[in-house]
A and B are shown apart, each in its own frame.
Chain A
Amino acid sequence: MAMLRDADFRKPDAPSPDTVLSVQDLSIDFNLRTHVLHAARNVSFDLHRGRTLCLVGESGSGKSVTARALLRIIDRNGAITSGRILLRGGKGSDIDIAKLDERSRTLLGIRGGRIGLIFQEPMSSLSPVHTIGSQIVEALRLHQAMDKRQARAATIELLRQVEIPNPETQIDRYTFEFSGGMRQRAMIAMALACNPDILIADEPTTALDVTTQAEILDLIKRLQASRGMAMLLITHDMGVVAEVADEVAVMRYGRIVEQGSVDEIFHDARHPYTQRLLASTVRLEQNPRALTRPAEPAHAEAKPVISVRDLSKFYGASATLFGNRGKGVRAVESVSLDLMAGENLGIVGESGSGKTTLGRLILRTVEPTSGTITYNDRNGHAIDVTALSKRELRDYHRDVRLVFQDPFASLNPRLTVKEVIGDPLFVAGRARGAALERRVGELMELVGLDPQSMERYPHAFSGGQRQRIGIARALALDPRVIIADEATAALDVSIRAQILDLLLDIQKQLGLSFIFISHDISVVRYFCDRVAVMHRGSVVETGSAEQICTAPTEPYTRALISAVPNPDPRNKRMLHRTRFTAEAAP
């Protein structure tokens, strides 16, 4: 271990024979209209054969730009201003990628030939108009000078290696016929086509469900070991880092602030930023609610605030102009839930499990096909939500509010923050003029924003601040229930923890109930009292947050929980995970 001053930080080591790529003092600048952004500053690291370096950082830390610079595919307004990217080994001497011409043959040979790249978004990085096979065949024929028949055989072999079932038939399928996980497998096959020495994976599992993520990471790890590749994995998820990394470099504002072996980073972090990052990740593994609030037996007698019975939503099942289309899609099927006063109910599930639809059904922005929703209002009257008229629904929406996932799309960019937060008050006729301004100021203080900035427009705020604005808007009408639909999914991990703490704090002050919809089990564990696990439109298991996260009973829940990466490299969870075969389920 060495504590170094900024200036002589990370002098390049003498190249060991295992080093395949060393980046030395790399700096990248972006020329923007009003300023030059130093996206990477004096970044240095080495990639070793058979080992994985994880580049960790929050959004905007420069991690993706650094990785893209290795292949020289940064955007036009960006340029490498200093430093060297030395590709070692190979036939000739070392190649400095930073000095190569953008169009040179050497560079084209390196891209895909010696360095393979996997992107985050498997849908947009594969062509939708070519078959999976033809795209891999093309890569093979470009770099390895194979003829068509050889390339096809090699492609089938590759698809087999990435564990795509029936590669002989799948090779002629199109991208849209593949699921997200399968597409990412195809993408990996393409990146591996030419036996690269180095694999760069840029957030390879961020767009995937947690169980698929576990499978893909598992696959990448095994392929890397069997081929002896060096891997550069870029991620924001400390859990993923702990599961797969050998070495870790933590980036912040374009600099590597700390670098070391995975164990050193997780158990002996020295830089305050790393410590903060770990703290917010690890904290999400616990549940502060369970500690601060003893279980209240009163629940048994108390009436629930919202009670959902046998709620179902089928799409496309109705008879159309051209005859009956058949069964349609069952988005939500016979779901029954109770939300108690002051309780946080989590709904977890993977994409397509119907959790978002369930939230919308409770708000009736989507009309349920069958089932009932009962809301017990402040006076204790039971209201049948499914039978409400448009006007009555407006009153219901004052008590049951929604917080959106996307902090950018959910605020009207053309209104000032005061108008956004004040809109529900204005519409309800609760406040006008100075009274409205006062109330908006109170709300902004409540969510930790400066009331002075209420004349600003949303574009002047960061993602986390915008989410606070969205929460303030939800609180404007003194609601009783807030439905938070993936309210923290778009935020960085440290801001995520702040927002969750804010919500818990507000709950304590105002006595709200939350329905918290999320795909992120650690967030649900941190925030919720009870959790309902959804799979294919139905609730498979309901229980306390602790019980679901530590002792799940249903096989699906067990598989789901065990696939969540554990942010502790000494206790890797994913590799010993329980698998749940979807085909076996009804």
Chain B
Amino acid sequence: MTHVFVEGDSAETGPAITPIKRLKGRETAVAGPWALIWLKFVRNKVAVVAGIIILVMYLIGAFAEFLAPALPEASKPQFTYAPPQELHFFVTDPDGTSRFMPHVTGYKQEVDQASLKRIFTIDPEKVVPIGFFVKGPKYRMWGLIEMDIHLIGPLKSTDTMYLLGTDKLGRDLLSRLIYGTRVSMSIGLIGVVISLTLGVILGSLSGFYGGWVDLTIQRIIEVISSMPTIPLWLGLAAAVPLTWSPLQVYFVITLIVSLFGWTGLAREVRGRFFALRSEDFVTAARLDGSTERRLIFRHILPSLTSHILAVVTLALPTMIVAETALSFLGIGLKAPVVSWGVLLQEAQNVRTIATAPWLLIWPAGAVVLTVLAYNFLGDGLRDAADPYES
């Protein structure tokens, strides 16, 4: 073989690259861990969309009174099981020209003589003009400020608008669903906060100290996770005093449930602690003279927070599903509280589903959408949680 070489160019100082995007080397060099997590997270488009959905859900819950066209308890017996009305933006005048006017079409009522059932049919002739920011029924925003402006509603207060239909008492499903969002989205949070606190504290102790501390905590976890939850909940629901308000009862039940639900999180945290405890940088910090408290709070827990956030995001939907399931069984929330589970409970029998399928579809859809969004968000967060692995 002949001896050949490139004529002395040692000018090259790095690998040959062709940039696609403008390189932000300078910026990522000083970017902290949260900035890196964010950069990695926004690359996952599905998770971002899921995050936006969750955010919208909480906004709906927060501004329920303003967003709902009617009050959740306002019933109109003449409109029981009225089907959803379609929203139109243009009306055709008798002379054939169309003009912009948001409206819904009214109902024509007939009574079936054989079964004495009221049958609603959409009447395209009957136009109910609607508007945005209209005056409607009075409410107290967050129970404090008296207001009567609604985002959307019929212009005349005597008119009715049922975009998602009505239930057996003639209550507007859309309004009830919006009010239900507030209860359903927030009720899991308290449970998760309690689970989180217990899980992180006990998991950290277990993982950091190991030995008999770990042994004791792990055996306790095993005992707790072997308890059957549904019979326990049923028993607790029966033991709660009847004088308590339904919401109070539910808070107590979630509290007890979360006292049993911290075990998964504790195990997750313990596993991470075990892995991190033997990392070189933790040993280095120990040799630097850090106390145990400083090791945990300065070096180990910050490496865990993003993981914990991801686990919590994945734990929230189970809480929401649990609420729905319990309410559906009749041991969770009860009327007059409105939640997705309570709404689903009303769609329990086959006859309702046959005559008014919207009572099942919309609340169930809300639950599925939320749970899916939470799961995608949680997956995205979990992938982004460690921005330092390649």
1/0 per residue, CB under 8 A from A, across B267-294: the answer is 0000000000001110111111111001
Contacting B32 at CB < 8 Å: which of A38, A365, A457? A457
Give A145 Cβ to nearest chain B Cβ, in Å: 37
The answer to whether B289 touches A35, judged by C-beta atoms less than 8 angstroms apart, is no
Contacts of A39 in B (CB 8 A): 15
Alpha-carbon distance between A460 and B388 when the two chains are bound, in angstroms: 11
Contacts of B29 in A (CB 8 A): 453, 456-457, 459-460
Contacts of B14 in A (CB 8 A): 253
The answer to whether A34 touches B21, judged by C-beta atoms less than 8 angstroms apart, is yes
Give B102 Cβ to nearest chain A Cβ, in Å: 45
The answer to whether A6 touches B16, judged by C-beta atoms less than 8 angstroms apart, is no
The answer to whether A397 touches B287, judged by C-beta atoms less than 8 angstroms apart, is yes
Alpha-carbon distance between A473 and B285 when the two chains are bound, in angstroms: 10
Query: Which chain A residue has the least Cβ–Cβ distance from B15?
Result: A253
Contacting B281 at CB < 8 Å: which of A10, A273, A412? A412
Q: A402-B287, A423-B290 are in contact. Are A37 and B16 (CB under 8 A)?
A: yes
Give A288 Cβ to nearest chain B Cβ, in Å: 25
Specify which of A41, A274, A412, A427 lies most central, judged by the most chain B CB atoms within 10 Å of its CB: A412
Q: Does A394 contact B (CB under 8 A)?
A: yes
Alpha-carbon distance between A220 and B10 when the two chains are bound, in angstroms: 34
Q: Does B238 contact A (CB under 8 A)?
A: no
Which of A177-185, A254-262, A521-529 is found at the contact surface with chain B? A254-262
Contacts of A398 in B (CB 8 A): 289
Q: A401-B287, A456-B29 are in contact. Are A6 and B20 (CB under 8 A)?
A: no
Give B215 Cβ to nearest chain A Cβ, in Å: 11
Contacts of B281 in A (CB 8 A): 409-413
Alpha-carbon distance between A109 and B376 when the two chains are bound, in angstroms: 43
Give A484 Cβ to nearest chain B Cβ, in Å: 13
Q: Does A272 contact B (CB under 8 A)?
A: yes
Contacts of A397 in B (CB 8 A): 287-289
The answer to whether A414 touches B302, judged by C-beta atoms less than 8 angstroms apart, is yes
Alpha-carbon distance between A384 and B16 when the two chains are bound, in angstroms: 55
Contacting B16 at CB < 8 Å: which of A4, A38, A427? A38
Q: Which residues of B in the span 282-336 have a Cβ within 8 Å of any Cβ on A?
A: 283-291, 294, 299, 302-303
Q: Does B19 contact A (CB under 8 A)?
A: yes
Give A491 Cβ to nearest chain B Cβ, in Å: 15
Query: Which chain B residue has the least Cβ–Cβ distance from A400?
Result: B287
Contacts of A271 in B (CB 8 A): 5-6, 8, 10
Q: Does A582 contact B (CB under 8 A)?
A: no
Contacts of A36 in B (CB 8 A): 17-20
Alpha-carbon distance between A271 and B7 when the two chains are bound, in angstroms: 7
Q: Does B31 contact A (CB under 8 A)?
A: yes
Q: Does A508 contact B (CB under 8 A)?
A: no
Q: A36-B17, A253-B14 are in contact. Are A423 and B285 (CB under 8 A)?
A: yes
Q: Does B112 contact A (CB under 8 A)?
A: no
Q: Does A363 contact B (CB under 8 A)?
A: yes
Alpha-carbon distance between A39 and B285 when the two chains are bound, in angstroms: 38
Q: Does A5 contact B (CB under 8 A)?
A: yes
Give A89 Cβ to nearest chain B Cβ, in Å: 19
Contacts of A268 in B (CB 8 A): 3
Alpha-carbon distance between A453 and B287 when the two chains are bound, in angstroms: 25
Alpha-carbon distance between A62 and B302 when the two chains are bound, in angstroms: 36
Specify which of A257, A365, A405 lies most central, judged by the most chain B CB atoms within 10 Å of its CB: A257
Give A247 Cβ to nearest chain B Cβ, in Å: 5
The answer to whether A60 touches B15, judged by C-beta atoms less than 8 angstroms apart, is yes
Query: Which chain A residue has the least Cβ–Cβ distance from B22?
Result: A34
Q: Does A329 contact B (CB under 8 A)?
A: no
Contacts of B18 in A (CB 8 A): 35-36, 38
Q: Which residues of A in the span 420-437 have a Cβ within 8 Å of any Cβ on B?
A: 423-424, 427-428
Q: Does A285 contact B (CB under 8 A)?
A: no
Alpha-carbon distance between A459 and B36 when the two chains are bound, in angstroms: 11
Q: A404-B280, A473-B284 are in contact. Are A413 and B289 (CB under 8 A)?
A: no
Contacting A41 at CB < 8 Å: which of B1, B16, B280, B303? B16
Alpha-carbon distance between A412 and B6 when the two chains are bound, in angstroms: 41
The answer to whether B12 touches A252, judged by C-beta atoms less than 8 angstroms apart, is yes
Q: Does B4 contact A (CB under 8 A)?
A: yes
Query: Which chain A residue has the least Cβ–Cβ distance from B8?
Result: A272
Main secondary structure of the interface of A (DSSP, over half): mixed
Query: Which chain A residue has the least Cβ–Cβ distance from B283?
Result: A365
Give B273 Cβ to nearest chain A Cβ, in Å: 15
Q: A365-B286, A423-B290 are in contact. Are A1 and B280 (CB under 8 A)?
A: no
1/0 per residue, CB under 8 A from B, across A312-335: the answer is 000000000000000000000000
Contacts of A302 in B (CB 8 A): none
Alpha-carbon distance between A455 and B281 when the two chains are bound, in angstroms: 18
Q: A402-B284, A410-B281 are in contact. Are A34 and B31 (CB under 8 A)?
A: no
1/0 per residue, CB under 8 A from B, across A260-290: the answer is 1100110010111110000000000000000
Contacting B28 at CB < 8 Å: which of A41, A256, A413, A460? A460
Q: Does B264 contact A (CB under 8 A)?
A: no
The answer to whether B303 touches A38, judged by C-beta atoms less than 8 angstroms apart, is no
Q: Does A9 contact B (CB under 8 A)?
A: yes
The answer to whether A363 touches B4, judged by C-beta atoms less than 8 angstroms apart, is no
The answer to whether B4 touches A253, judged by C-beta atoms less than 8 angstroms apart, is no
Q: A35-B23, A38-B15, A402-B284 are in contact. Are A413 and B6 (CB under 8 A)?
A: no
1/0 per residue, CB under 8 A from B, across A82-101: the answer is 00000000000000000000
The answer to whether B6 touches A365, judged by C-beta atoms less than 8 angstroms apart, is no
1/0 per residue, CB under 8 A from B, across A1-41: the answer is 11111100110000000000000000000000111111101
Q: Does A406 contact B (CB under 8 A)?
A: yes
Q: Does B2 contact A (CB under 8 A)?
A: yes
Contacting A457 at CB < 8 Å: which of B31, B279, B286, B294? B31
Alpha-carbon distance between A412 and B290 when the two chains are bound, in angstroms: 14
Alpha-carbon distance between A449 and B348 when the two chains are bound, in angstroms: 70
Query: Which chain B residue has the least Cβ–Cβ distance from A263?
Result: B3
Q: Does B239 contact A (CB under 8 A)?
A: no
Q: Which residues of A in the span 233-259 have a Cβ within 8 Å of any Cβ on B?
A: 247, 252-259
Contacts of A60 in B (CB 8 A): 15
The answer to whether B388 touches A413, judged by C-beta atoms less than 8 angstroms apart, is yes
Q: A411-B281, A413-B33, A414-B33 are in contact. Are A274 and B288 (CB under 8 A)?
A: no
Contacts of B283 in A (CB 8 A): 365, 402, 404, 410
The answer to whether B3 touches A261, judged by C-beta atoms less than 8 angstroms apart, is yes
Q: Does B146 contact A (CB under 8 A)?
A: no
The answer to whether B280 touches A410, judged by C-beta atoms less than 8 angstroms apart, is yes
The answer to whether A273 touches B10, judged by C-beta atoms less than 8 angstroms apart, is yes
The answer to whether A4 touches B4, judged by C-beta atoms less than 8 angstroms apart, is yes
Q: A409-B281, A423-B285 are in contact. Are A254 and B5 (CB under 8 A)?
A: no
Alpha-carbon distance between A190 and B237 when the two chains are bound, in angstroms: 66
Give A267 Cβ to nearest chain B Cβ, in Å: 11
Query: Which chain A residue has the least Cβ–Cβ distance from B305?
Result: A414
Give B368 Cβ to nearest chain A Cβ, in Å: 33
Query: Which chain B residue has the least Cβ–Cβ distance from A426?
Result: B288
Alpha-carbon distance between A39 and B16 when the two chains are bound, in angstroms: 7
Q: Does B30 contact A (CB under 8 A)?
A: yes
Q: Does B9 contact A (CB under 8 A)?
A: yes
Contacts of A3 in B (CB 8 A): 4-5, 7
Contacts of A35 in B (CB 8 A): 17-21, 23
Contacts of B32 in A (CB 8 A): 414, 416, 457
The answer to whether B16 touches A473, judged by C-beta atoms less than 8 angstroms apart, is no
Contacts of B287 in A (CB 8 A): 363, 365, 397, 401-402
Q: A37-B17, A406-B280, A411-B281 are in contact. Are A270 and B290 (CB under 8 A)?
A: no
The answer to whether B1 touches A260, judged by C-beta atoms less than 8 angstroms apart, is yes
Alpha-carbon distance between A150 and B166 when the two chains are bound, in angstroms: 78
Alpha-carbon distance between A124 and B32 when the two chains are bound, in angstroms: 34
A-B contact pairs, 16 of them (CB 8 A): A6-B6, A36-B17, A38-B18, A41-B16, A62-B15, A253-B15, A260-B1, A265-B3, A271-B6, A402-B283, A404-B280, A412-B303, A416-B30, A427-B290, A427-B291, A457-B30
Given A3-B7, A259-B3, A412-B299, 7 further pairs, Cβ under 8 A: A6-B9, A9-B4, A254-B15, A260-B1, A265-B3, A273-B10, A398-B289
The 4 nearest A-B residue pairs measured at CB: A260-B3, A460-B29, A258-B5, A410-B280
